[in-house]
């Protein structure tokens, strides 16, 4: 049983993709799950509670990182301005994770990752190597979309079972 934590303690920091990569590299020895999401993405919102549950299930061995892509680069809306949309959602889900709001625009991230759309989940092994990317690029229906229960969690557990 974990001690009660106040949802108001949930926070989100603003980071670039590059600085986030450094943060991931610093997690050697743990499996890292990086979830790219937005409050405007229905499948992202549907799957988000499973990211939180995964962190709760493996607090010592897994680091779950939520990487929010609400920032779209409008002139009068800096990355800080999306906190008003993102923080209440994170607090509602008691997302005591590493929560990052991207300082790079969503389109810039899609370009860097050659990603068509979110949701996307990147899973890194204990040595910091990207082992699998889950996205819905080849999904032809909702039934084909990846889920935490069916895809991500079993893969993470497989990585946890490997000898370090």
Phi, psi of 153 (to 5 degrees): -60, -45
Provide the whole-model pTM.
0.93
Tell me, what's the pLDDT at 113?
A: 95
Using a 10 angstrom Cβ sphere, with 0-12 exposed, 13-18 middle and 19 or more buried, the burial of residue 113 is middle
Q: For 25-46, write each residue's pLDDT tens digit.
A: 999 999 999 999 999 999 999 9
């Amino acid at each position: 049983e974990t001690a009660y934590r106040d949802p108001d303690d949930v926070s989100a920091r603003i980071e670039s993709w590059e600085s986030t990569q450094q943060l991931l590299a610093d997690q050697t020895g743990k499996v890292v799950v990086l979830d790219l999401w937005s409050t405007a993405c229905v499948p992202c919102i549907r799957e988000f509670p499973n990211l939180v549950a995964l962190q709760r299930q493996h607090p010592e061995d897994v680091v779950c990182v939520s990487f929010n892509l609400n920032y779209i680069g409008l002139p009068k809306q800096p990355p800080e301005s999306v906190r008003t949309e993102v923080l209440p959602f994170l607090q509602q889900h008691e997302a005591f994770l590493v929560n990052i709001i991207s300082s790079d625009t969503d389109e810039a991230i899609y370009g860097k990752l050659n990603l068509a759309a979110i949701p996307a989940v990147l899973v890194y092994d204990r040595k910091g190597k990207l082992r699998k990317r889950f996205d819905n690029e080849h999904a032809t229906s909702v039934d084909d979309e990846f889920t935490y229960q069916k895809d991500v969690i079993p893969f993470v557990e497989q990585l946890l079972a490997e000898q370090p």
